[in-house]
Amino acid sequence: MSAFVDAQSGGFSINLVHRDSESSPFYNPKETPARRVGNAGRRSIGRVHRFSHMLHLNSSRSISDPSDPDAQLTANNGEYLVNISLGTPPFPIVAIADTGSDIIWTQCKPCTDCYKQDAPLFDPKSSSSYRTVSCSSNACNSLQSEGSSCSSDGSVCEYQVSYGDQSHTQGDVAAETLTLESKTGNPVALPKTVIGCGHDNAGTFSPKGSGIVGLGGGPASLVSQLGSSIGGKFSYCMVPYAAAKPTSLMNFGTNAVVSGNGVLSTPLISDPSQPTFYFLQLEAVSVGSKKIAFQGSSIGGSGNIIIDSGTTLTLVPTDFFSQLSDAVETQVTGGTKTSDPEGFFSLCYVPDSSLKLPPVTAHFKGADVVLTSDNIFIQVNDKVVCLAFYANDQLSIYGNVAQQNFLIGYDLPKQTLSFKPTDCTNT
């Protein structure tokens, strides 16, 4: 069944699995909850390095703590996984779903230089639907931002992607059937999807990962390739970090429409020079009655903050973070201040019944989004919660903790992003 047919008949939805859930290949049972959350924070900092590299920002600019222990620089450092299959017959792959990248790629046989991967490698020779792409094709041209070029004999389009930590992937550009596992149990097949078949991949990739599905705004992403078949619409609803439910929901097409009471919308700002990223304009954040003006990053045209599902924390400039942290600490009542067992977070409390947090509102252009305690603080363990914001002077990112228990809808033709408060554990 084609995804184009499926989308026209009502859209489709897929499950996203958090990388730290027990059903994830990245799950490490030996890690304490505090270590998992600390590592997620470090991946957020590593992600800033990667995005800054993509945006050609000055990498010498400081992060609040640029030392290696605070920056987990792994090239496949997104937070959510999706089950896909490639080829005919379908070959299963657990891929990272990444709104901060575009190309869809996996390691392929034969490997001239590949990182160690626990799962079997995809073999194009075993698929009857695999076709390499010519250098003169539109598909090859769409990958110019991914460093597309021609093979030495001029017959095959090739790609190359480099990450901020010197990791890279390169290989053949191909058209292949990509199949998604929909929530209904019916497979959603996407014939002739443009993918990267990586034969030379090296660096800090984790052996637990076997592919990336780019969901950014560039022409090679899954969202862009689905195009008009989904009406340029997708949405997701992320369960809280500490929730028992292991999966979040991602919707495409008519399933992705965000409507009804409580919906707030803000302009979704695109930058033609950096089409991968989704920019918003955050004007201020209120803590109780104290409103703190937000300047953010001077990139993305009129946008000053990137919204990203693959970054855990919300990253803001140091001066703004200091004002925000001070305002929260001043207005918290009850509870007991404590320290993060991992030493990563700066403002933490014991989450007992006496702890009362001030109301916090993110003032986006045209949308005053009221955040809950689960958006403001992240549960490190049963005895500690910490402020889920982090100081960073390179780039501002609105992370996934701040997005949890909201249905977040992207309408690319209308260039709007919508928020609807939702219990994502019931979706």
- Residues contacting 341, CB < 8 A, separation 6+: 32, 34, 380, 381, 384
Extended beta strands in 254-381, E state: 264-267, 279-280, 282-287, 290-293, 305-307, 314-316, 336-338, 348-350, 360-364, 367-371, 377-381
The token pair that represents 63 in the structure block: 């992060």
For 182-296, where are the E strands, in sequence order?
A: 187-202, 212-214, 233-237, 247-252, 264-267, 279-280, 282-287, 290-293
Contact 239, 404 (CB under 8 A): yes
User: How far is Cα of residue 36 from the mean position of the Cα atoms in its chain?
Assistant: 17
User: Which stretch of DSSP H or E encloses residue 271?
Assistant: none
Residues with a catalytic annotation lie at: 98, 308
Q: Using an 8 Å Cβ cutoff, are 215 and 98 in contact? A: yes
How many other C-beta atoms can be found within 10 angstroms of the C-beta atom of residue 88? 16
Q: Please give the backbone phi and psi of residue 178, each rounded to the nearest 5 degrees, phi first.
A: -105, 130
Between β-strands 264-267 and 416-421, what pairing exists: parallel, antiparallel or unpaired? antiparallel
| E strand or H helix that includes residue 15 | strand 12-18
Tally Cβ neighbours within 10 Å of residue 301: 13
Output the six-digit token pair for 173. 């550009």
Instruction: List, in order, residues 6 or more apart from 277 with CB less than 8 Å away.
Output: 51, 55, 100, 216, 217, 271, 300, 306, 308
For residues 328 and 376, the answer to whether their CB atoms sit within 8 Å is: yes
| Helix or strand run (H / E) with residue 322 | helix 318-331
3-state class (DSSP) for residue 96: strand
